Amino acid sequence: MYSCFLWLLLPLLIFLGFAALSFVITFREKRYVWELQRQEPAGTGEAVNERARNQPVEAPASPYQLTTPSNVAAPAAQTELPISSYAAIKCRELDALDYQYLGSFRHAKGGIYKIRYDAWISPDRYVLAFVEAGTLASVTLANMTLLTLGQSVGDAGVDAAAGRAGATPMKCLCSISTESAFEASLSGCVRTMLFASAKTTDHIYWHYQRFSSFRPQPFSEDPIGDYYQFRQRDAKRIEELGRLRFIDPQETVWLPTLGGGLRVFFGMYGFMLLRRVYPDRWRLKRAS
């Protein structure tokens, strides 16, 4: 009898142990405002397609290159991470849809974060796409993120930080294909939906369906720079709300406060549980 009870209790204990570990990591893990580091082109590489593999991409002059604070170890210069089969397929599909290739990046933390990001911009310039693949501590990761900046219907103007007084903060629609890619928004300005394992065309279709209650703003000639500026302003908003504290003078690395950490932790588990009960596809169908 007791052995049966223990076997029934075991899954709960495993879950609680995992939750406790996640709770500790939430408060102790240093986070970067800007996580992308442009890769140094490798001499050879796995073929993807002519654009994704060979198109030359100039190093941008805008300030979104990572600035490493004095108290954080600088990531060593590394050559290009190899592209995975998942990313190769996604890149070919985006290329076939006339998306423009913007270059490849890697996670700025380096070390166990062996994650490659291939960036693309849609023909209408409303969607910035990142094909993300690699490993985190030997755990395989694969995801595609679609991003659109703009305002919710009913919001006034654009971000005041962009130069217009009295405006509401810029919002970001984020559509992911893998649950583990979710990041809780401490400002409420990033609105994430999950379209689990969606085909590329379906993923894009559902993302555009979200525009029915959103006023998208096209990206400029420097889409990565636009997204960088959004991340910078969003981090400042979160600091003003008392949900993070910067740990370097350059304000590029931060840790959550107690309130911010609790929002991250419960936001993550709430997102996962809710999507199992009520997927975002259903939510959009009901709204349409």
Question: How many whole angstroms separate alpha carbon 130 and alpha carbon 226?
Answer: 14
pLDDT of residue 53: 45
* This prediction's pTM: 0.79
- Which of 62-71, 119-128, 216-225 has the lowest average pLDDT? 62-71
Pairing of strands 171-176, 190-194: parallel
Is the Cβ–Cβ distance between 107 and 37 less than 8 Å?
yes
Question: How many whole angstroms separate alpha carbon 240 and alpha carbon 238?
Answer: 5
Q: How confident is the model at residue 274 (pLDDT cuts 50, 70, 90)?
A: confident
Crossing angle (nearest 10°) for helices 280-287 and 200-209: 50
Pair of tokens at residue 223: 């889409």
By C-alpha distance, which of 254, 256, 255, 253 is closest to 75?
253
Question: How many whole angstroms separate alpha carbon 275 and alpha carbon 193?
Answer: 9
Tens-place pLDDT, residues 168-206: 789 999 999 999 899 999 999 999 999 998 999 999 999
Please give the mean pLDDT across all residues of the chain.
80
HSE on the CB side for 39, CA within 13 Å? Answer: 24
| Strand boundaries in 56-127, DSSP class E | 100-107, 113-121
Is the Cβ–Cβ distance between 186 and 163 less than 8 Å?
no
Residue scoring higher pLDDT (203 or 11): 203
